[in-house]
Structure 1
Amino acid sequence: MRAIQISRYGGPEVLEPVELPDPVPGPDQVLVDVEAAGVNYADTHLADGSYLSSPKLPFVPGSEVIGRTADGRRVMGLSTGGGYAEKALLPAALTVEVPEAIGDGEALALLVQGLSAWHLLRTSARLTPGESVVVNAAAGGVGSLAVQLAKAFGAGRVIATASTPDKQRLALDLGADVAVSGDADGYAERVIEANGGKRVDVVLDAVSGPVFDAAFEALGQFGRLVTFGAASRQVAKPVEPGRLMMRNLSVVGFWLSPALAVPGMFAPPLTELFELVTAGRVRPVVGGEYPLAETRRAHEDLLARRTTGKLILRA
């Protein structure tokens, strides 16, 4: 089978087309003929060796797969890798059947990004109706869904931050009440102004570095800053306990991979997400499709911030 393999760490240039033997399923695994695989920002961290955990070299990246089983069922699932290929193995416990009414790109957007957005708001931020929510990088895969889910979950005001006017307009089209620049300089002032002069209840941040520091300053009493990535590749300043106590603040970390080991963290949220999409209340943004042979270009576009929404590879 054709696959994309990483045999050394680096930029998009390390993504190499190869021919590999077809995978053989073991106990509790599902073999899938891949129709599409999702591309995530985390995949670029895997490629350069900066991810929180990395598999042994060489490896085939790609944790999100949608395709058909040998008996014709349309399924998608999450794995520890292997999705950038014509065939892939999925753990049965992290595989679900997909309604035919939902497209491949839409469905894949609900795996890592959709589940992350759901858990960021429900599990980590513990959002309650009427609260204000700031979504950083709101035009991205997680951000575009988090904006919509925050509205669906009853947020009183959703403030989107994005790097360009076009991306800010997309966030507004998806339901954000206000969209502002996500630049660290003046961030807290812009966000507070967008919230009617009041500090905010929740910030979802995958940027880190100076943006994380500025987001912390925008939090109001009992505010929660949920950190789930470091797209800036910069490290935020340490948060001293006294700074938390001053406004009863919380800084919460979230990483989907270990969360899915907890019972009930996978299928039930996906069921709700399927229902929201089918009802037209949530619209996953599919940002672009690339042939498997052009995986390198997909990573280049993602790193250059030329993309919005979900990117997928066609096997």
Structure 2
Amino acid sequence: MRAIQITEFGGPEVLTPTELPDPEPGPGEILVDVARSGVNYADTHQAENTYLAPSTLPMVPGAEIAGRTADGRRVVGLLTGGGGYAEKASADPNTLFEIPEGVSDEAALALVVQGATAWVLLRKNVRMEPGESVVVHAAAGGVGTLAVQLAKHFGAGRVIAVASSEEKRKLALDLGADAAVDSAAPDMTAALIEANEGRRVDVVLDMVGGRVTDESVRALAPFGRLAFYGMASREQPKSVQLPNLMRFSTTVSGMWLPHAWLLPGDVVGGAMREMFALVAEGRLRPVLGQSYPLSEARRAHEDLRGRGTVGKLTLDTSA
């Protein structure tokens, strides 16, 4: 089968097209013929070996697949051990979801990690309440575009989108954001408070890190919550100190989606069913970005890291 393999850690240049034997499903796993592979920002960390879970070489990256099982079912799923950038993948049936009619493979891929991430952040991490203000950083990205819409669906009083270009900010406004802020604002604290009509904000969803995290925490109202789920800047925040959290009654939490499968009550399955229904009804619009041939995975990572992309990126295994 055709696949993308990494034999040394590094940037996009380490993503190498190759031919590999078909994977052998482990105990309880099934083989999926992959039609589309999802590209997620976490994949860039996996290639560098800077992800939360350490990587082992050689490896086939990628955690998101959409395709068909041997019995013909259309499925989308999360691969906890990687292997998604390939024509075939072994998957745990517990992390696969049947794609309903009216939902495309690409839309399903936008939901399985990025949609579920947005849902869990809002429902479990920050426990957003109706009427609260919500800041979404990287609002034109895969998680951000869905978080903007889900926050409005869950009853947010005001959604503030942060993005790096006028085009991206317009997209966020079109998706339902009430205000948009330039991610290059010299003082993010002041910019967020101004966008919230002079009031401190209740909730921040942050995957940037560094200065942006520090200044977003300072924009929180008493009992405000910031949920941290990535570090695109590769910079550590400095201001998240215990005395500061107590002084301003602030909550800062982290989220890594695989932990959501450990929650009782099939949380991820419930999130997927809710989002599938919203998509089928036209009430949730996954923003679909560029689709690249499988062999051009390197270019997909370059574009993603260069912040030149909008929406969900996919790899087409047939191209």
TM-score normalised by L of structure 2? 0.97
Aligned: 1:147 with 2:141: no
The within-5 A match list for 1:62-101 is 62-79=62-79, 80-101=81-102
RMSD across aligned positions (CA): 1.0
Runs of 4+ in 1 over 6 A off after TM superposition: none
1:137 partner amino acid: A
Aligned to 1:34: 34
Task: Identify the range of structure 1 (200-209 vs 243-252) with the bigger mean alpha-carbon deviation.
Answer: 243-252
Shift of 1:150: 0.2
Aligned to 1:164: 165
Task: Identify the range of structure 1 (42-51 vs 21-30) with the bigger mean alpha-carbon deviation.
Answer: 21-30
CA distance in 2, matches of 1:51, 1:313: 21
Aligned to 1:276: 278
1:295 partner amino acid: A
Shift of 1:238: 4.4
CA distance in 1, matches of 2:8, 2:65: 23
Shift of 1:184: 5.4
- Structure 2: gaps (5+ residues): none
Shift of 1:302: 0.6
Shift of 1:261: 2.5
The within-5 A match list for 1:238-249 is 238-249=239-250
> What is the DSSP-based 3-state SS (H/G/I as helix, E as strand, rest coil) of the residue aligned with 1:260?
helix
Specify whether residues 184 and 235 from structure 1 end up closer, same or farther in structure 2 by C-alpha distance, changes over 3 A only: farther
1:108 partner amino acid: L
CA contact (8 A) 1:184 1:214 kept: no
CA distance in 2, matches of 1:101, 1:18: 34
CA contact (8 A) 1:44 1:299 kept: yes
The within-5 A match list for 1:133-144 is 133-144=134-145
CA contact (8 A) 1:286 1:311 kept: yes
Aligned to 1:102: 103
Aligned to 2:45: 45
CA contact (8 A) 1:184 1:210 kept: no
Shift of 1:159: 0.3
1:266 partner amino acid: V
Aligned to 1:291: 293
CA distance in 1, matches of 2:212, 2:94: 36
CA contact (8 A) 1:38 1:62 kept: yes
Shift of 1:297: 0.7
Between the two proteins, the alignment pairs up a number of residues equal to 315
CA offsets 1:244-303 (integer angstroms, 9 cap, x no match)? 122211001111122223232321110011011111111000111001011111111111
2:302 partner amino acid: E
Aligned to 2:10: 10
Q: Percent identity?
A: 58
1:225 partner amino acid: L
Shift of 1:27: 2.4
CA offsets 1:90-117 (integer angstroms, 9 cap, x no match)? 1111111001311111110001100000
CA offsets 1:143-173 (integer angstroms, 9 cap, x no match)? 0100000000000000000011111001001
